Chains A and B, each alone.
Chain A
Amino acid sequence: MFRRRTDLPLDRDALSRFLPWLIAFMVYLAAMAQAGMLGLDSMSQRWSKDIGTSLTVQVPPVSGLDKAAKEKSIRRLQDTLNLLSETKGIIRSSVIPESRVLQLLEPWLGAGIAGDVPLPVLIDVETNPANKPDIRVLKQKLSAAVPGIVVDDHGVWLARLVQLIRTMEGFAALVLVLILASAAATIVFTTRTGLAVHREAIEVLHFTGAHDSYIADQFAWRAMALGFKGGIIGLGLALPTLLALGLVAGRIEQGLLPEISLGGVGWISLLVLPFASALLAWWTARATVMRNLAGML
């Protein structure tokens, strides 16, 4: 691919041999930054979607282990469920089984706490995203019916979390831009060295009537081939790394993190990287040569 006849012995340049590896390293880092950016974006969207339409209602336990206390607890729960089902904008409300609550608390409180600690009853509420209920009014109604009830719409910490993720995304984007700038600087340096090494041959081409663009194209096509080669190597190393990270994240995310996915567009944007690095190399080398030759007669 990109094999063209050239009048300059660019293949023999020592720097040309290293350029694909330098670009491979940068494409690898770029793939990581890009995947991180896309993964975080997907995570924040999923989090917003999942949590933004859900509420958790905590019905505190009634103190005492006698029958009257149990009946009171059941009545408070029933009142809460009735009130929730009557509220417009609530699609579903379901009690989280005690076993699941214990499972969620296990990492903090340890196993075997059933019966030792009075646990609130948790109700998972799903709201209609198109017609959300007024949470403030809902809280007032529930508090009046069941004193001590807690309604958590996750809004505060969700907003902070999304803000944190957006900041991390911005940082990943900055890293990506820095990597691209470093790749471009590497190509500029390599091309300038090539111009110095082949100065005499370039003069001969000029004296035989070559336009600057004729000479620039030779450097640009060579850089493009090396950029593409480096891009393929970098992506070849990045993909297994990302798959391995995906597997590790898959294990952690159970119950803690939403599913992290790059999505089809994300994967395609990664596959585009070798072409992007080839294009960047072509354009940078060409611009460098044109700029340098403009100073010659």
Chain B
Amino acid sequence: MNFDPTIPIARFENVGLRYGLGPEVLQDVKLELQPGSYHFLVGPSGAGKSSLLKLLYLAHRPSRGLVHLFGMDVATTPRDELPALRRSIGVVFQDYRLLDHLSTFDNVALPLRVARVKEDEVQRHVVELLAWVGLENHMHARPPTLSGGQKQRASIARAVIARPRLLLADEPTGNVDDRMGFRLMHLIEELNKLGTTIVVATHNEKIVERLGHPVIGINDGRINVTPGSGPTY
């Protein structure tokens, strides 16, 4: 799918989201993510961070308002065109969501195989990426045998293997120590330098301060965007 590089990656207009008949968990969200931007998404637990991410990775449609991804209105996009949109979005889940019965290699290869990429190309790209995230010695290991940091790296590798234009990471440093956290954030910084638009939901204030990217603050379902201060290292 070809996208116009001049249009925003994501645009939210007066977006509201409620689950079933429950209260609105997101209210009047206005947001624009420009290509190549990097935002942190912060807020207390239950504030709506995951819900905002779910709208971005097409797990839900908004209850009201407009959500445009890559210039397409997700409410009116036909269902059979959603997979093409999703292939442009990489997601790092807080709980990794690796498939336990598959090896690390097969988990990371999933987006390529789903896109019917030739197997020799799959082999080459996955081996290369696993070496980049430091998992070259764990290719055949199943996720239950990996440590938290290794799982997180495998999850990031799976999210970026198909070179997405938008990378969403939900608490990517939540289950790892500070050292590993900064290492993972360094990986994400590298991807951003290659042009990938990034949104990282985190509770880790140290990382937010140190990297100095713009912050989408969310509280009681309402957002407030503050510009970045630049890196402090």
Contact = CB atoms under 8 A, between A and B. Distances in A.
Nearest to B112: A208
A205 B110 contact: yes
Contact of B58 (A205, A210, A214, A297): A297
Interface string A211-224: 11010000000000
Nearest to B159: A208
A7 B110 CA distance: 8
B101 A12 contact: yes
7 contacts: A203-B97, A204-B99, A205-B110, A208-B86, A209-B87, A209-B114, A210-B83
A157 interface: no
The secondary structure that dominates the A interface is helix
A18 B158 CA distance: 35
B113 A7 contact: yes
Interface in A169-225: 200-201, 203-212, 214
B38 interface: no
Interface in B74-103: 79-80, 82-84, 86-87, 89, 91, 97, 99, 101-102
Interface residues of A, number: 18
Interface of A: 7, 9, 12, 200-201, 203-212, 214, 294, 297
A7 B99 contact: yes
Max chain B Cβ within 10 angstroms of own Cβ: one of A9, A203, A210, A294: A210
B110 A204 contact: yes
Interface of B: 57-61, 79-80, 82-84, 86-87, 89, 91, 97, 99, 101-102, 106, 110-111, 113-115, 158, 162
Contacts of A210: 83, 114
A297 B115 contact: no
A42 B82 CA distance: 56
A207 B86 contact: yes
Contact of A207 (B59, B84, B106, B113): B59
A207 B170 CA distance: 14
A207 B57 contact: yes
B117 to A, nearest CB: 11
A205 B115 CA distance: 11
B101 A209 contact: no
A294 B78 CA distance: 11
A201 B96 CA distance: 12
Nearest to B111: A208
B83 A209 contact: yes
Max chain B Cβ within 10 angstroms of own Cβ: one of A201, A205, A209, A297: A209
Nearest to B57: A207
B114 A205 contact: yes
Contact of A209 (B79, B86, B102): B86
A214 B60 contact: no
A240 B79 CA distance: 51
Contacts of A211: 80, 83
Given A208-B158, A209-B83, A201 B99 contact: yes
Given A9-B99, A208-B158, A294-B79, 7 more contacts: A204-B97, A207-B59, A208-B87, A209-B84, A212-B80, A297-B58, A297-B59
A211 B82 CA distance: 8
Contacts of B57: 207
A209 B82 CA distance: 8
Nearest to A215: B114
A9 B98 CA distance: 13
Contacts of B79: 294, 297
Max chain B Cβ within 10 angstroms of own Cβ: one of A12, A208, A214: A208
